[in-house]
Amino acid sequence: MSPPTRPPSSAPVSSSLPPAQPESRSPWRSLRHRSMRWWSVANFVSNAGTWMQLTVQNLLVLQITGSAAATGLSMSVQAAPALLMSVLGGAAVDRWPRKLTAAVSQALLAVIAFTTATLVALDRLDMTSLMVLAAVTGMIATVDNPACALLGNDLVPAEDVPSAIGVGALVFNAGRLAGAALAGVTVGFLGTAAAYFANGFSFLFVTAVIPFLRPAAGAVRHVVEKGGKGELPRNAMTVREGIAFFARRPRLLALAGVTGISAVFGRNYGLTLAVLVTGPLAGG
């Protein structure tokens, strides 16, 4: 007599899938993505070049005019478009392809930097030309700044966006410190024009990197759709809707007020240091 057949086991079959990895909480987690690493390097180079130019520009105005008031005016001329047109610039960035907008704006800023460098090298730069170039730079920056600030967020998954914002802020401040230091070294050894040329090449470096950036898996894509009034991004706000959204939130208003007070009364060190170096400290 044959032995009874053993019934099939009802024990669960173990899955071959690996256990889910816990979500990373590292502040550097956005740098796991290759495109974000490249963008951070490019952004640092661009910020260092920009602050190099800003530092040299203050010294240059002081050399031309000997007036701290004229130096402050040149800074105001460059910053005025951001104050008056920043909302329109942000709306334009929402409507246009992000990578293309950032690449074109960086290329235009490179043209301005090379133009200024050439005028300085030929000793043809006067205050009128400098003011015009500063104003044009400010107008382009109203589009460039939000485009570059948001581009990093487009490269990482939604859960890594806070890390991308933090890394972007770190890169900005590191570039500011490095640019100011490099400005002094460059002017001391190579001259003022060299600092403008260096900034132009920093913009070209960013322009060359942008086409190779690819969003990571799970990244929120900035999609532009064609609507009845032209091309509009999904969930886009008009300028009026954006202002209303901002005005209805007291925390955002308070943050804007604190930032404004800090910018007006606490961040004039670019002008102050330039005046000290050419005046009481007698450094140039």
Structural domains for the chain: 31-278 (1.20.1250.20)
Confidence of residue 272 (pLDDT cuts 50, 70, 90): low
Instruction: Give yes or no for a contact between 203 and 103, defined as CB atoms under 8 angstroms apart.
Output: no
> Which pTM value belongs to this model?
0.79
Nearest alpha-carbon partner for 271 in 153, 180, 182, 140:
180
| Residue 95 vs residue 237, higher pLDDT | 95
Q: What are phi and psi of 23, to 5 degrees?
A: -65, 130
Reported confidence tier of residue 18, pLDDT bands at 50, 70, 90: very low
Q: Which of 61, 195, 76 is nearest to 137 (CA)?
A: 76
Tens of pLDDT, residues 37-56: 999 999 999 999 999 998 88
Checking if the pLDDT of 76 tops 90, the result is no
pLDDT at 13: 44
Confidence tier at 279 by pLDDT (50, 70, 90): low
CA distance 218 to 216: 6
What is the rounded distance in angstroms from the CA atom of residue 274 to the CA atom of residue 56? 9
Q: Please report which confidence band the pLDDT of residue 23 belongs to, taking 50, 70 and 90 as the band edges.
A: low
Tell me, rounded to whole angstroms, the distance of Cα 59 from its chain centroid: 24
pLDDT exceeds 60 at position 5: no
> CB atoms < 10 A from the CB of 274, how many?
25
- Average pLDDT, integer, range 54-59: 86
CB 233 within 8 A of CB 223: yes
Distance CA 42, CA 26 (A): 22
- Asked if the model's pLDDT at residue 104 lies above 90, the reply is yes
pLDDT category at 219 given cuts 50, 70, 90 is confident
Percentage of the chain with pLDDT > 90? 40
Average pLDDT over residues 252-273: 75
What is the pLDDT, as a whole number, of residue 229? 47
Residue located via tokens 């606490």: 266
Q: Reply yes or no on whether the pLDDT at 32 is more than 80.
A: yes
- Dihedrals phi, psi of 157, to nearest 5 degrees: -65, 160
In the predicted structure, residue 78 carries a pLDDT above the cut 90: no
How confident is the model over 146-179, as pLDDT tens digits? 999 889 888 999 899 999 999 999 999 999 899 9
- Computed over every residue of the chain, the mean pLDDT equals 81
By three-state DSSP, how is residue 216 classified?
coil
